[in-house]
Structure 1
């Protein structure tokens, strides 16, 4: 079984440049932002760029790809104006994925900001249900570190959105987020227990992607800060157990690890390959 592992690649100079960037990291799948994630902005991908991205992806056998939505998107919000902006942004992202031949669009649920857990989950499902998702594109709901009123830190939140939405959704698990939210991954036994709980609550059949990141902070702190693979609080034993778990072996892995200490994505991708048996 071929290990599909890559990183979040820059699209600076054109979205097609993400393919060459991924090759420089030695990745064979990956993730992009279609625009700056800090602002409300159209993807604005030209036909030539899209064709080049598709061709380069096919030529070099890289995939699947994921588009990560803007950080401003908040599916759980009770505010009408933010809801409409989030819906519009999400629609543009799934359309961009269709243009680029990208399989997945990844989104955080966001914060309920006073609507309560049930209200927030209903809000998220209703926004997702208004999307016109092109055939061949799947929206992934990402697990969250769970700070403040953000939802997605509990597996039950993910399961409820899948159940409440009429869309055919899947899940992206982020290891650093899970760990920060209180799901231990630091030992082989902890990995087994956490993934068994995910299977029981959500189901492995709904897991389409993993964001593999170590954590700079302890389990249950709700602090989202990523570390190099095997060098954070999850550590080498936990990371090794996770990437070798039967339920993970066929799932594409995308890294969002830091560039620091003279190491970046290429070092971390090599590290994952070393840990994989």
Structure 2
């Protein structure tokens, strides 16, 4: 099972090698992932709350690639800045979004990471059609390295944000000339109005996704339970099996024949004395139970 967490790259160097002096480095992500019990996962290359460019030395990039190859099994994905808005009708925000996303694509190539994940953003008055057109044309302005694929993440669908409906994901794929993929967030999918609480509901939702978007475009899954119910459009993640998706829904997702071989990255909370390690272990237990 390819499962891991969204880990931080910040702070002193994390290593079991006591002879290695501490330093701040993107290689921290690999050791942290291993410590949590993960074998793939997600990172920010810089703060997601500000317009900042990733700063990665050649030495750090080489070390990250080498340690990933030795210690992990599944692929990394970079999550773009939360400020990126591909749907915006505002020229200045569009320019900043493109610059930020291009930097992440270049960083992914440098790090040997095959995916950069981003939200479509909000159309803020441009309308759904206008927002989708804006996003598609923005994607086509990017210089995407051959080794990297842009993933559009499903959204909770609040306000004028796009990506909450499967049709939005299908439309952006159709409207761009760039080969892009999709990342489904299970918590977002639930609160956007798609039932994932039982095996039957998961089957129906996966089938509908396949009909509208196509499973061939699904490359990654953000595996999160939700603190809010179907159709609420409230984005707040819960520990696996302890939210509104619940153990039955989570087990059905993790073991679904069309989903089980995809990489899963957790964005679950750290609370109640539990964090990523607990949730990764829970995911593995639900996989094992599904094989009984």
Answer yes or no: same fold by TM over 0.5: yes
Structure ID, larger Rg: 2
2:112 alignment partner, one of 95, 101, 120? 101
* Number of the residue aligned with 1:7: 5
Greater than 2 Å deviation, 4+ residue runs: none
Contact 1:19 1:62 in 2 (8 A): no
* Number of the residue aligned with 2:17: none
Shift of 1:80: 0.2
Shift of 1:219: 0.7
* Number of the residue aligned with 2:18: none
* Number of the residue aligned with 1:182: 193
Alignment of 1:63-102 (within 5 A): 63-102=74-113
Instruction: Tell me, yes or no, if structure 1 residue 155 matches structure 2 residue 194.
Output: no
Query: Cα RMSD over matched residues?
Result: 0.6
Alignment of 1:1-277 (within 5 A): 3-12=1-10, 13-276=24-287, 277=291
Question: What number of residue pairs does the alignment pair up?
Answer: 275
Q: Kindly provide the CA deviation profile for residues 50-104 of structure 1, in whole angstroms up to 9, marking residues without a partner as x.
A: 1110111011134300000000000000000000000000100000000000000
Provide the C-alpha distance between the structure 1 equivalents of 2:260 and 2:253, rounded to a whole number of angstroms: 9
Provide the C-alpha distance between the structure 2 equivalents of 1:251 and 1:82, rounded to a whole number of angstroms: 33
Shift of 1:145: 0.1
Structure 1, unmatched stretches of 5+, are: none
Shift of 1:28: 0.4
Q: Kindly provide the CA deviation profile for residues 94-151 of structure 1, in whole angstroms up to 9, marking residues without a partner as x.
A: 0000000000000000000000000000000000000101111000000000000000
Contact 2:186 2:223 in 1 (8 A): yes
TM-score after normalising by structure 2:
0.93
Contact 2:40 2:263 in 1 (8 A): yes
